[in-house]
Amino acid sequence: MHWTINLADFFLRARILGQPVPLLASFKLTYRCNLACRACPFHQRADEPGGLMGWDTAVGCLQELARVGCRIVVFEGGEPLLWRDGDRRAHDLMELAKTLFLRVAVTTNGTLGLDLPAHVVWVSIDGLPETHDRLRSSSFARIRQNLEKTHHGKILIHHTINRENRHELKGLMDLLAGIPAVRGLTLQLFYPYGQGEEKLGLTASERREAIETAIALKRQGYPILNSTGRLRAMIDNSWTCRDDILINVDPDGTITQGCYAKNRGTVLCNHCGFTPVAEAVGALELRPASIMAGWRTFISR
């Protein structure tokens, strides 16, 4: 009942009253990372001024997100589990956030342990072991070990399709099927930030083929949590973006409502690969499959 009332209030404010209420916050605690992934521009900014948030700034940002009505916070980086301020660590911020928001999640590279106090833990895996290791600093074995020993109840895989791994989704999901902790997989597509990351973008035909493959696997029963309709809309980005439902926090404490790429790279709508935004817009439009995708991702156990 609490979830129903909370989400009904959001839909009333955002859809009926037309208020620019953010649903989902991308909260970057730090640009520091223990990996140097080829698709990521953020670890390259680790030494910039403002590249690591302090405790007081983090608490202030969480309180501001709650004040403006945000419902879901996803901690990320860099690698968020590297974050420290004195004896405070990311776990403490997750515990605090759980008192302020409907759901709290974290996206991690999976190398530092997964028994975290967040409701949802996303682990980034970008291909079969050889490809993943080439893209993500030879980390597959460590991630698999942590997946096999975790007791967390909601582990999801975060998989970004790019030029090098675009044929490996089925093989990866078959491999992950033997790990009981993994509850499903969510897909995104590589986005060209233009901030020093490797050029791994898909051509239009590669993008179509990759998404159609994902849809076919979902229909076969593979636990891909994205809705079929929103995946199909990502083929040519034929969906209307409501980027005000997203709000971003960067390590210097800057809060920006709108596209995930704002202040983080060039905004290129035609190249959008941010499926969570497409899914959230679908839910706001009361598309049943998008509502169900959100429920399966954030609420159900």
| In-domain check, residue 3 | no
pLDDT at 7: 77
| In-domain check, residue 12 | no
Structure tokens at 58: 């983090």
Q: What share of the chain is helix, strand, coil (3-state, %, to 5)?
A: 40, 15, 45
Cα 260 to Cα 45, 93, 207, 270, distances in angstroms: 17, 21, 20, 14
| In-domain check, residue 268 | yes
CB-neighbour burial class of residue 222 (10 A; exposed 0-12, middle 13-18, buried 19+): middle
| pLDDT digits 0-9 by tens, 84-122 | 999 999 999 999 999 999 999 999 999 999 999 999 999
For the chain, the domain total comes to 1
Question: pTM of the prediction?
Answer: 0.95
| In-domain check, residue 58 | yes
H or E element in which residue 24 lies: strand 24-28
Terminal-residue alpha carbon distance, the chain: 16
| In-domain check, residue 5 | no
Q: Which residue has the tokens 């996303």?
A: 122
Give the residue-averaged pLDDT of 28-42.
95
| In-domain check, residue 295 | yes
| In-domain check, residue 31 | yes
- What's the CATH number where 276 sits? 3.20.20.70
H or E element in which residue 293 lies: helix 288-294
Spatial contact of 167 and 65, defined as CB atoms under 8 Å apart: no
| In-domain check, residue 37 | yes
| pLDDT digits 0-9 by tens, 151-160 | 999 999 999 9
CB-neighbour burial class of residue 22 (10 A; exposed 0-12, middle 13-18, buried 19+): buried
Expressed as residue numbers, the domain containing 247 is 21-299
